[in-house]
């Protein structure tokens, strides 16, 4: 029996109300200098094909080669052609893309997560092959896990509380639907449909997109739902711009930047922030600080709509000469905020150019766990502006706290572990870990430090012995009389776990109503740390340390 030939299709779904003519970027739109040729598609009523040369440039490596071989041919070009077929289906329009045509398309014209939703509807949890996830935070973690054959969701290490699903791939439950699917915004399909069966293919993909079968196996993806209401997005963008203005004025704001997709750093990258007259200063990595400095250097005074539409990041690899537009700046922002008041607040996060609303039941679950966590008052309010000055102040004023900040210990068999046991060890046997909650680093990283340190203390003999030795040395230097090393078990003793406590101390500015709190995703990641410490049998507590709302306030209080 002859083998059935399969074809690979790359598909996207136009937003409702969009037409094919409005699906292109400014340079490639009909009537523009680089417009593609429009042609009919005879077998489907209403279908339209656009085809043409997308780029045609000399390769960036020719300048290097000519230094050793000056008489290179002058007709060396790197070129890319592309085509897109727009097919009407069920009152919508799908686009089947070929070659390099994605360069010519306007991403905003297409439905976000179309490919992801089709994939999760079509594939069961036991038939996944690849999964990309992202954990939005000050330090955003993006992860790709691939398996050698179809595998269960459990094999992909998903944190269902924190992770956003970004890209999924696998084998469909229905072999007649397709042989293989993978999707994010675009959908890659391997199917046996022939060119004259394109209409049936599009009808099938749209029908799968409209289902909600994914909720049986992948309901966790709805913990954060994409916001589509324009008025809500406008309010959220206003809050984003206010945070950016704070950073430009030298104030703190929980606004960060991260690539909106997984980046291959082995290829090397140089970046430019463009679209506001910056003239292409070179940077090696994304940084909100660099972007803010560029805005201020160029005296940018536009509004958020200009930022969204015109500010972009161009990049080139080490072996290339030309910078090409890579991402919109807006797509690289990581930002959390809330709308509403008096108990009717909704929480939102901006990631990869999309606003997500946190599911209310999920938020209530997280808040309930946070409220149940023991709160302590060890440090108390401070006039210090950052973690470093707070540590110095506590060293000078608190005899009941022993500074262990920057003390490094290697567990058994580890040469370069460099674990910091804590910032302070208290006379009440508390391992206190401090963090400025408004710094550029991730609060979530502190939770991990507390867990790793506690596990080493409870289970690693060498760590325990070295810790006692350091504590005795530091205690001998400290006036006050407390022999802190006597609070720790001897080498042959096992720690009595309930005698000790892990305390996380987070410096936070008060909200407008005077209360203190944590960003939502910091609460989410805290849950995992608390659960792990509870499994160890060691108590855990949290202190929110009120810090000045501004430098001026700190000056007045001193």
Instruction: Give the model confidence (pLDDT) of 459-505 as tens digits.
Output: 999 899 999 999 999 998 876 667 899 999 988 889 999 999 999 99
- Over 50: is that where the pLDDT of 369 sits? yes
User: Where residue 415 falls among pLDDT bands split at 50, 70, 90?
Assistant: low
**Average pLDDT, whole number, for the chain?**
87
Give pLDDT, residue 258: 83
Summarize pLDDT for 449-461 with one digit per residue, the tens: 999 999 999 999 9
Give pLDDT, residue 481: 64
For the ranges 26-35, 81-90, 208-217, 414-423, the lowest mean pLDDT is seen at 414-423
Strand order across the 333-339 sheet? 224-226, 354-358, 346-351, 333-339, 255-257
User: Where residue 552 falls among pLDDT bands split at 50, 70, 90?
Assistant: very low
The residue that leads in pLDDT, 441 or 302, is 302
Give pLDDT, residue 480: 64
Contact indicator for 471, 488 with CB cutoff of 8 Å: yes
Summarize pLDDT for 239-281 with one digit per residue, the tens: 999 999 999 998 878 888 888 887 765 555 778 898 888 876 7
Average pLDDT of the residues in 352-365: 89
Average pLDDT of the residues in 392-411: 92
The residue that leads in pLDDT, 556 or 421, is 421
391: Cβ–Cβ under 8 A, 6 or more apart, which residues?
A: 403, 405, 423, 424, 434
The residue that leads in pLDDT, 187 or 165, is 187
- The kind and range of the H/E element at 201 are helix 198-210
Please give the Cα distance from 134 to 408 (Å, whole number): 31
- Provide the b/e sequence for 293-318 (b: ≥16 CB within 10 Å): bbbeeeebeeebeebbeebbbbbbee
- Over 60: is that where the pLDDT of 516 sits? yes
- Provide the b/e sequence for 537-551 (b: ≥16 CB within 10 Å): ebbbbbbbbbbbeee
For the ranges 35-49, 148-162, 405-419, the lowest mean pLDDT is seen at 405-419
Nearest to 226 by CA among 361, 356, 117: 356
- Over 80: is that where the pLDDT of 107 sits? yes
Average pLDDT of the residues in 11-20: 94
Burial of 281 (0-12, 13-18, 19+ CB in 10 A): middle
Give pLDDT, residue 524: 87
- Over 50: is that where the pLDDT of 209 sits? yes
Nearest to 76 by CA among 57, 52, 95: 57
For the ranges 29-33, 141-145, 365-369, 477-481, the lowest mean pLDDT is seen at 477-481
Torsion of CA 280, 285, 288, 291, to 10 degrees: 0
Radius of gyration (C-alpha) of the chain in whole angstroms: 28
Contact indicator for 40, 49 with CB cutoff of 8 Å: yes
Kindly state the tokens that stand for 469: 């030795």
Strand order across the 374-375 sheet? 374-375, 540-546, 501-508, 430-436, 424-426, 401-403
- Over 70: is that where the pLDDT of 156 sits? yes
- Over 80: is that where the pLDDT of 36 sits? yes
Please give the Cα distance from 236 to 355 (Å, whole number): 8
């Amino acid at each position: 029996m002859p083998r059935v030939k399969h074809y690979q299709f790359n598909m996207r779904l136009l937003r409702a109300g969009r037409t094919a003519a409005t699906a292109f970027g400014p340079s490639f739109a009909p009537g523009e200098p680089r417009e593609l040729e429009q042609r009919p598609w005879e077998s489907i009523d209403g279908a339209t094909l656009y085809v043409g040369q997308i780029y045609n440039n000399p390769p960036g490596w020719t300048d290097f080669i000519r230094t050793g071989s000056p008489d290179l041919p002058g007709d060396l070009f790197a070129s890319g052609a592309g085509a897109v077929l727009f097919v009407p289906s069920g009152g919508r329009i799908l686009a089947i893309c070929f070659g390099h045509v994605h360069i010519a398309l306007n991403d905003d014209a297409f439905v976000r997560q179309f490919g992801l939703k089709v994939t999760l509807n079509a594939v069961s949890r036991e038939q996944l092959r690849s999964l990309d996830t992202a954990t939005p935070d000050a330090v955003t973690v993006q992860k790709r896990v691939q398996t050698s054959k179809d595998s269960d969701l459990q094999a992909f290490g998903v944190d269902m509380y924190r992770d956003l699903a970004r890209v999924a791939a696998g084998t469909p439950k229905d072999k007649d639907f397709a042989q293989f699917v993978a999707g994010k915004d675009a959908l890659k399909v391997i199917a046996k449909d022939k060119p004259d069966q394109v209409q049936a293919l599009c009808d099938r993909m749209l029908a799968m997109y409209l289902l909600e079968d994914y909720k049986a196996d992948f309901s966790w993806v709805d913990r954060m739902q994409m916001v589509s209401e324009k008025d809500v997005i406008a309010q959220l963008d206003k809050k984003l711009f206010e945070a950016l203005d704070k950073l430009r004025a030298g104030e703190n704001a929980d606004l960060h930047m991260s690539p909106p997709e997984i980046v291959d750093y082995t290829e090397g990258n140089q970046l430019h922030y463009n679209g506001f007259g910056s003239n292409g200063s070179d940077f090696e990595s994304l940084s909100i600080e660099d972007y803010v400095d560029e805005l201020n250097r160029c005296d940018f005074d536009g509004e958020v709509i200009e930022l969204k539409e015109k500010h972009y990041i161009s990049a080139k690899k080490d072996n290339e000469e030309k910078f090409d537009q890579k991402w919109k700046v807006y797509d690289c922002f990581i930002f959390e905020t809330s709308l509403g008041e008096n108990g009717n607040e909704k929480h939102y996060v901006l990631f990869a150019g999309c606003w997500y609303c946190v599911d209310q039941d999920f938020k209530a679950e997280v808040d309930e766990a946070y409220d149940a966590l023991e709160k302590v008052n060890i440090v108390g309010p401070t006039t210090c502006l950052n973690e470093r000055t707070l540590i110095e102040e506590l060293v000078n004023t608190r005899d009941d706290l022993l500074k262990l900040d920057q003390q490094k210990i290697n567990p058994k068999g580890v040469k370069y572990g460099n674990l910091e046991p804590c910032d302070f060890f208290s006379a009440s046997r508390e391992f206190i870990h401090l963090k400025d909650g408004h710094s550029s680093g991730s609060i979530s990283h502190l939770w991990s430090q507390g867990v790793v340190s506690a596990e080493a203390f409870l289970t690693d003999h060498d760590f325990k012995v070295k810790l006692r030795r350091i504590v005795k040395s530091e205690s001998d230097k400290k006036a006050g009389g407390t022999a802190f090393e006597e609070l720790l078990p001897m080498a042959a003793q096992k720690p009595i776990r309930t005698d000790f406590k892990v305390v996380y101390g987070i410096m936070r500015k008060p909200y407008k109503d005077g209360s203190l709190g944590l960003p939502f995703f910091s609460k989410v990641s805290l849950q995992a740390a608390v659960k792990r410490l509870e499994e160890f049998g060691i108590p855990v507590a949290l202190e929110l340390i009120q810090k000045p709302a501004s430098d001026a306030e700190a000056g007045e209080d001193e």
